[in-house]
Structures are given as C-alpha cells and as structure tokens.
Chains A and B, each alone.
Chain A
Amino acid sequence: MFQIKRLKYKQILSIEELEIKKNQVTCIIGQSGSGKTTLLKMLNHLLSPDEGEIYYKGRSVFEWDPIRLRREVVMLSQQPIVFAGNIRENLNIGRIFAEKKRCDDHYLIQALKLVNLEKKLEEDADSLSGGEKQRLSLARVFLMEPDVFLLDEPTSALDKGTEDEVMNSFLTEASKKGKTVVMVTHSVEMAETYADKIIQIQK
C-alpha cells in the first residue's frame, strides 16, 4: 500500500526503507517526540518530507490530488474533533466532506455500537465527554469508508476495558472490509495484540 524510501524530515525522522502492506494492521510505536505522528501525517500528505519518496498505490503521494488522497487515506487525530450539531450530523459530516451519500440512521446506530457508544442520534455532540468524543470521531471516520485508516492514538482517552472492546470490534470490522490500518499507539501491549506488523521508531 505504502512504500517509503530514504525519508528524512528535519532532525525528527530518518527512514531508509519501509513498506506498509494492504489489508493489514500496522502499529507504530516509540517514545514521545520520536516522529510517530509526523510519519502518519506524511502518509496522506499533510506534511512533506525534506527528502525521500512516499508511494501510495504505486504513485508518489506528491502526485496525488491532496483532497482525493485524504478521502482514500483518512486520518483520525489524537485530539478528537466534534463539529457543530448533534451526533447524527457529526457521524454524517465525514461522508459529506467526501461527497458521499449520507447514511441512514440504521448504519449510524451500527457505527455507534461498533465503538461502544450508547447514545441517541439527536444528542448534542458537544455534550459528550472526552472519551465519548474520541469514540464518536472513530465512528465518523469508519463511516467514511476509506481504503486506509490512519489512527493517531485512537483510544488514548479510554479506560483499558473500553479500549480493548472498541479496538477489537473496530479492527475486526476493518479487516472484514479489507481495509488497511496504520495506528500510532503508546501501548506496546495493544500493538502486540492487534498488529500484523509493528514499526518501532526511535529518537
């Protein structure tokens, strides 16, 4: 899916060669400040390296239209963002951005179950707690149906039990649908449980 060659970015990242395979869960682990999020942002061209090449589906990411690339390679930031409106609007807004048809309530409710968020669709999204907002963002990203999920610490605000439930059901569904997942996590345990491949980045 992704090939990275001779990548350098400031004093933060230096990667000689790296491949991220399709339909796999790849976890990126490392200390704070080692460049995990920076690498993730380069995969959908939010950041550009100082040197080197990044290929997505055999084509350099610099040749991809950035908007089209970001609709295929969707990133979930570490800080959950909720948009104005209720839960229904927040779940559908990602699809609106990607110029896809809105989902029926049936699919929205299934997405909420996937992330273990038992809330009514009419509820104001801003009234949710930090952990609930994080799960809502994860559900929104899931409904966008991209080819690749870039997840930056997707469960950092969740307790261990909820984290396991959410990641288990999310990754199982993603795998069923043939999606590629690249996930930054601080938890070596999570990486060892779910990852097909672990990339460790050192400072």
Chain B
Amino acid sequence: MVDFWSPVILSLKTAFVSVLIVLITGVCLGKLMARKRFRGKSFIETALLLPVVLPPSVVGFLLIIVFGRNGWLGKSLEWLFGQPIIFSWWAAVIASSVVAFPLMYQSAKNGFEAIDKEIEDASRVDGANEWNVFVYVSLPLAMKSIVSGFVLSFARALGEFGATLMFAGNIPGKTQTVPTAIYVAMDSGNMKMAWLWVITMVTISFFMLIFVTIFNKRIDF
C-alpha cells in the first residue's frame, strides 16, 4: 500500500527548512552585495547564481563530489555526526537549498538595490546603528521583493527533483519527496497516486501565488 502523506509531509518539511536557510543567507548576502563594490564581485555573483542555470543532474553530481563519503567535507561531516550526509533527509535539504538560493538572493538583492540610499543615510545621520538601519529601514522597504523571493524559492525547493534524486536518493519515508514519488508512481503505472500528488502540488502552488498577490496588495495600500 503506497503512503500518500509521507512524501507530502517530507516535501513540505524539506522545503520549509530549505527556504529558512536560503531566506537568512539570501537576504544577508543580498544586502551585502547590493551596496558593496569590490574586485571579483561579478565572479562571486556568477558563482552564487550558477545553480539556477545548471542542469539539476549536474548540481546533484557536484553535491555528491563535495558531500559524498570520498570528499573531505563529506568525511568531516560523517565524523562529526556519526553518519554520512548522502542519502539522508539533510541531503534533500541541502539539494533544495542549493537550487533555491539563487532565486532568494537575486530577489533580495534587487529589493535592497532599489532602496534610495538617502533614506538609509538619513537614518545613520539620526544616530541609527547598522542593525537599526537594516531592521527599520532596509528590510521594510525591500519586503515585497523578499516575499516574492521567498515564494519562488519555496516553490523551487518543493519541486526539486534531479539533484535530490541523485544526492538524497528516493527512500520512501526518508528522502522520497513528492516529485520523486510522482516519477516512481508513473513508472510503475500507479496513475491514481501520481494524479493525487500532482493535484496536491498544483493546489499548494496556487495558494502560494495567491498569498503573494494578496501580500503585495496589502503593502501597496
């Protein structure tokens, strides 16, 4: 008997954790890169955005090389946590985070770049420290872009297939997310389950987009 809910819960759990990771890293790096000018900036930015253009199988391959049992990082993590990262739930989180990060980063960076620097400078003139400038001035003004980035990166994390399949595997109850479950269901002729999961994904995506639309309208008013 195929469990309908396990891949759904696993997908949502993986996507939420991934998107939290990319929200923090994407917003911080986006803020930094929006204003800083330094040598090598273009190179670094290209590297940060690369996962969005690379085929998922390439991303999966590189994750295996870096985090696999033969890589130095994979060996270190295995020594630290007592088990390999590869074919674990955390591997699914890492794969989703890597592919979702560029969407969050680019959205956040665009949001921060669009802020009139005079407003940030005015708050510094009023005695605000950098944390206050970030929390009370920059973040509110960039919020629309950050929320859009959040939704896009959540959708990307939720729908991650290729890199997840290669790096985390397709272990039912452990690393089998909805996209890989649909693939397996179709492959084995279980169209009913495949349809149920497809409808679930479409419904989740639909409501996410509605949320963004309503949220952006609220900000405008």
What is A's interface to B at a CB cutoff of 8 Å? 44, 46, 67-68, 70-71, 74-75, 77, 79, 81, 83-85, 93-94, 96-99, 141, 144
User: Is B128 an interface residue, CB under 8 A from the partner?
Assistant: yes
| Secondary structure call for the B interface | helix
What is B's interface to A at a CB cutoff of 8 Å? 118-119, 122-129, 132, 136-137, 140-141
Please, how many angstroms separate the alpha-carbon atoms of A162 and B128 in the complex?
A: 30
Q: Do residues A81 and B128 form an inter-chain contact, with CB atoms below 8 A?
A: no
Measured between beta carbons, the chain B residues less than 8 angstroms from A46 are: 125
Please, how many angstroms separate the alpha-carbon atoms of A83 and B127 in the complex?
A: 15
Number of A-B contacts (CB under 8 A): 50
Whole-angstrom distance between the Cβ of B9 and the nearest chain A Cβ: 38
Q: Do residues B126 and A67 form an inter-chain contact, with CB atoms below 8 A?
A: no
Q: Do residues B126 and A94 form an inter-chain contact, with CB atoms below 8 A?
A: yes
Q: Do residues B125 and A67 form an inter-chain contact, with CB atoms below 8 A?
A: no
Specify which of A67, A79, A84 is in contact with B127 (CB 8 Å cutoff): A67
Q: Do residues B118 and A79 form an inter-chain contact, with CB atoms below 8 A?
A: yes
Q: Which of B122, B132, B141 has the most CB atoms of chain A within a 10 A radius of its CB?
A: B122
Q: Do residues A83 and B123 form an inter-chain contact, with CB atoms below 8 A?
A: yes
Known A79-B118, A81-B118: A98·B140 in contact at CB below 8 Å: no
Measured between beta carbons, the chain A residues less than 8 angstroms from B129 are: 67
What would 10 more interface pairs be, CB under 8 Å, given A79-B118, A96-B128? A67-B127, A67-B129, A70-B124, A75-B126, A81-B118, A83-B119, A85-B140, A97-B127, A97-B132, A98-B126
CB<8 Å pairs between A and B, sample of 5: A44-B125, A84-B140, A93-B126, A97-B132, A97-B136
Specify which of A79, A85, A144 is in contact with B126 (CB 8 Å cutoff): A144
Please, how many angstroms separate the alpha-carbon atoms of A81 and B121 in the complex?
A: 10
Known A84-B141, A96-B132, A97-B136: A70·B118 in contact at CB below 8 Å: no
Known A83-B137, A96-B132, A97-B132: A74·B118 in contact at CB below 8 Å: no
Known A79-B118, A96-B136: A70·B125 in contact at CB below 8 Å: yes
Measured between beta carbons, the chain A residues less than 8 angstroms from B132 are: 96-97, 99
Measured between beta carbons, the chain B residues less than 8 angstroms from A99 are: 132
Closest residue to A99 on the B side, CB-wise? B132
